[in-house]
Amino acid sequence: MKVNFFSELDYDTTEYQTLIKRVFRFKRNKPFNIIFVDDARIQEINRKFRNIDCVTDVISFALCDDPDNLMDDSLGDIFINLHQAFRQAKDYGHSIDREVAFLAVHGYLHLCGYDHQTPEEEKVMFAKQEEILVAAKLERI
């Protein structure tokens, strides 16, 4: 699977790009974009597109409601706030790799049509997240 990476940060994100490529190496689907951002940028995106004026960890924008639509060249964009990922990894007591991979997988599943608005949807989506992370040897500790 092709993942295109972009960074709006002033430091090297290569190690996170390599990690995410490893997580998705067995997935066969359309390409998508991951953009690494900071607190201010994700808050701006959250405010502009979701009317929620606060910092968050990840936001996804699917290019199409049907991920199997052959007309679209890409699934969409995933914005990952690395600053929030660092804080969450510390708060949750696991590695930054686990947190960044989790956010990438969470965003990817949203692009693929998964959601967690209801308990049933959450159960399905979170099980799929864990399956992908375990396959990448990024289990919760």
Question: Region 118-125: what's the mean pLDDT?
Answer: 96
Residue 88 has pLDDT above 80, yes or no: yes
Q: Note whether residue 99 is domain-resident.
A: yes
Nearby residues of 56 by Cβ (< 8 Å), 6 or more positions away: 42, 43, 46, 81, 84
Structure tokens at 92: 């949750």
CATH code, domain with 16: 3.40.390.30
Q: Note whether residue 27 is domain-resident.
A: yes
Between 105 and 30, where is the model more confident?
Answer: 105
Answer whether 101's CB lies under 8 Å from 139's CB: no
Instruction: Specify the pLDDT at position 17.
Output: 97
Q: Note whether residue 51 is domain-resident.
A: yes
Q: What is the CA radius of gyration of the chain?
A: 14
Low-confidence winner among 9-13, 25-29, 117-121, 133-137 (lowest mean pLDDT): 25-29
Asked whether the whole model's pTM tops 0.85, one would answer yes
Answer whether 20's CB lies under 8 Å from 6's CB: no
**Phi, psi of 136, deg, nearest 5:** -90, 5
Q: Note whether residue 9 is domain-resident.
A: yes
Instruction: Specify the pLDDT at position 96.
Output: 95
Q: Note whether residue 41 is domain-resident.
A: yes
* Domain extent at residue 116: 3-135
Confidence category of residue 139, pLDDT binned at 50, 70, 90: confident
Distance CA 54, CA 45 (A): 10
Distance CA 51, CA 62 (A): 18
Tens-digit pLDDT profile for residues 20-71 = 999 998 766 788 999 999 999 999 999 999 999 999 999 999 987 665 654 5
Closest CA to 35 of 3, 2, 5: 5
Domain count, the chain: 1
**Phi, psi of 10, deg, nearest 5:** -95, 25
Q: Note whether residue 140 is domain-resident.
A: no
Q: Note whether residue 124 is domain-resident.
A: yes
